[in-house]
Amino acid sequence: MTNINNRIYRRVYLDPFGPGRKGGVDPLAHSINQNGVTSGFVGIQQRPYTAQELRTEMVAGQAKLLKDHLVVTGGWRRDEQKNFTGIATVADPRTGFPMQTRLNPVSIDYAGETTSLGTVLHVRPWAALFYNRSNNFNPQTGNTIDDRELGPRLGKGEDYGLKFRLFGGKVYASATRYSTKDVNRGISNDASINSAIREIYEALDGSTPNTIGTDVADTKGKGYEFEVVTNLTPQWRMAFNLAQTEGTQANVAPYIRAYIAGNRATWAAAGARSLIAPISGVPAIDPKTGRAATIQTALDALDAQLVNISGRNGVTQRQLREYTGSVFTTYTFDSGPRWLKDLSVGGGVRYRGKPVVGYINGLAPVYGDSDVKVDLLLKKQLRLMNRRVRVQANFDNVLNENKPIVADADLSGVYRYLYPTPFRWSLSATLDF
């Protein structure tokens, strides 16, 4: 009776809108103990026994120079992560799964440093120049096709521009130029590349190595952003935002390209050797010779894939929308009946330009549709037990724009859709103590 394959399934019917049960049965309060059968919690699969240690060091500072006209802020941070995996020592007598009861003393470590620098130079009481730069890292797991660890994913960012404070503080405006870099981002190798390489090795020496590795790619971006916030009256506030961005891929799949280049001579020397059926990822009949596929056929298939990979360098990033913008306004009533005083009413429009959803021959982008969303809000400030309470209701996508968003397409058709968030509302309250 203690064998893990002997299970009892309990079904509970709920009646959330009637007089019946509203929730499930507590298995501890309603246990089974009949005819030698007892209920309890048992493991049905192996559970990892792991531990993680994090260590962070950080320092930050700020200085004001040139009679407070120049403000410099800087920071440095180092993060170290140690990952310990479990060691399987004994088998669970009920399941046969190994039970991990202690940790491997040797850890898998990741570490990285983050630095940031920001400067603001007040050239006039109403104008300032600014410059910021920072970098970051994110640990990622995975090994390349030649079994090297990917290493962390790295990010870099830089922006600079102008800020203005005009008309006695009624208008705030900024113009920003920015650039970003996402370096060493893990990507999956194409399945047809993995299959072609396995076919080559099977024909060479009968081996079927694991070719499913992870590669990397970089993404570069740059653009402009303009923002204006204005207090038209003490009660009326309006904000505008417009952004233009460019994003391209670079350094796509360097490990698989190097792997093929490093083995090309050996594979080409045995190019006449026939592939072993069944064949996957390579045409069974060589399109050049019309004969049964050989190692050279597989190498030609790999070369065609390399052309596609090279073509992805410099191509616009998928789902990138070059133009985005928004406008939002809020008005707060400062007089009138009690229900109207301190009531804020607001609304806005969000615009997102046409996204890149695919490519023609792997190069020229195919665009989807732009979209516009309308949002509203109501906010009321009141007092409750001598405490100030702010209640806010948000209404997003009030026109319920729910047309599916094309996420992957080319001239032949659409392959994948994303469903937008439909109309939704939320209510929140903030109490000051």
Is the residue at 48 inside a domain? Answer: no
How many domains does the chain divide into?
Answer: 1
Q: Report residue 173 CA to chain centroid gap.
A: 30
Determine, yes or no, domain membership for 14: no
Q: Which domain holds residue 419?
A: 61-86+100-431
Determine, yes or no, domain membership for 183: yes
pLDDT for 314 equals 85
Backbone angles phi, psi at 59, to 5 degrees: -145, 140
Q: Per this entry, what is the length of the chain?
A: 433
- How confident is the model at residue 89, as a pLDDT? 67
pLDDT of residue 43: 58
Give the model's pLDDT for residue 202. Answer: 92
> pLDDT (tens digit, 0 to 9) for every residue of the chain, 433 residues total?
555 566 667 777 777 777 776 666 677 777 777 777 777 666 555 566 788 888 999 999 999 999 999 999 999 999 988 888 877 667 766 666 666 667 888 887 888 889 999 999 999 999 999 999 999 988 887 888 888 888 889 999 999 999 999 999 999 999 999 999 999 999 888 888 989 999 999 999 888 777 777 899 999 999 999 999 999 899 999 999 999 999 998 999 999 999 999 999 999 999 999 999 888 889 999 999 999 999 999 999 999 888 888 878 888 888 899 999 999 999 999 888 888 998 999 999 999 999 998 887 667 788 999 999 999 999 998 888 788 899 999 999 999 998 898 888 877 788 888 888 899 999 999 887 7
In a domain, 349, yes or no: yes
Find where tokens 């990285």 sit.
112
Within 13 A of 396's CA, how many CA atoms are on the CB side? Answer: 8
- Interacting residues of 103 by C-beta distance below 8 A, sequence separation 6+: 49, 50, 51, 84, 85, 86, 87
**Is 367 among the domain residues?**
yes
Is 394 within the bounds of a domain? yes
pLDDT score of 360: 77
Residue 110 makes CB contacts below 8 A (sequence gap 6+) with 80, 81, 83, 139, 152
On whether residue 4 sits in a domain, the answer given is no
For 261-289, letters b (16+ CB in 10 Å) and e give eebeeebeeeeeeebeeebebbeeebeee
How would you label 92-105 residue by residue, b for 16+ Cβ within 10 Å and e otherwise? beebeeebbeeeee
DSSP tag of 143? B
Is residue 114 within 8 Å of residue 134, measured between CB atoms? yes
Residue 28 lies in a domain: no
H or E element at residue 257:
helix 254-269
CATH code assigned at 168: 2.40.170.20
